[in-house]
Amino acid sequence: METESTAELLERMRDEWARLEASFARLSVEQMTVRPAEGGWAGWSVKDQLAHVALWEELALGRVEGLGDREHELFGMDEATAEAADLDTLNAAVYERNRDIPLDEVLAAFRSTHERLVAALERLPEANLARPFSPDDPMQRPLLQTVVDNTYGHYPEHTAAIQALRAG
């Protein structure tokens, strides 16, 4: 992964976040909560997409703050189950945990988690972006990679999915 500064990271996050926010800015409650039968995220409403993004940002926040030993709790799983789960299984668990949460609560968590992550990154010594996000990670991936993967590298997928829901 190319090295980037905290300022560059935050700028890219800000730009993609703005696109994500714009993708649902003028939707009604009904448009935000209807679950389509088809599409790339079949059965997932806009609200479900936002709850999903918030969870993955929460995971990134935990890694920034060094709370990785409790990540499995985000998915409502015990540690062994979460470690053995593939990405689709983890995402299905996120969906099940959040699908009945009211829209206003999802939006509050979506925005609050993002604000907390940005604040944590602003406080983080820049050199820490290069350190492994977990001493237990066999690949020793840098913290920067997990932040990118769960923020501006992740938002466009959901921006596109929300735009497709709007068009569909």
Per residue in 88-112, pLDDT (tens digit) is 999 999 999 998 999 999 999 999 9
Domain boundaries, the chain: 6-167
For residues 4 and 142, is the Cβ–Cβ distance under 8 A? no
Q: What pLDDT is attached to residue 136? A: 75
Architecture of domain 6-167: Up-down Bundle (1.20)
What is the widest separation between alpha-carbon atoms in the chain? 45
Which is higher by pLDDT, 68 or 130? 130
Structure tokens at 1: 């992964």
What distance in Å separates the CA atoms of residue 3 and residue 161, rounded to the nearest whole number? 29
**pTM, whole model, 2 decimals?**
0.92
Map residue 142 onto helix, strand or coil.
Answer: strand
Phi and psi for 21 in degrees, rounded to 5?
Answer: -60, -40
Cα-trace Rg, the chain: 16
Residue with tokens 């448009």: 31
Looking at every residue in the chain, the average pLDDT score rounds to 90
**What pLDDT digit, counting tens, does each position of 47-80 carry?**
999 999 999 999 999 999 987 667 888 888 888 9
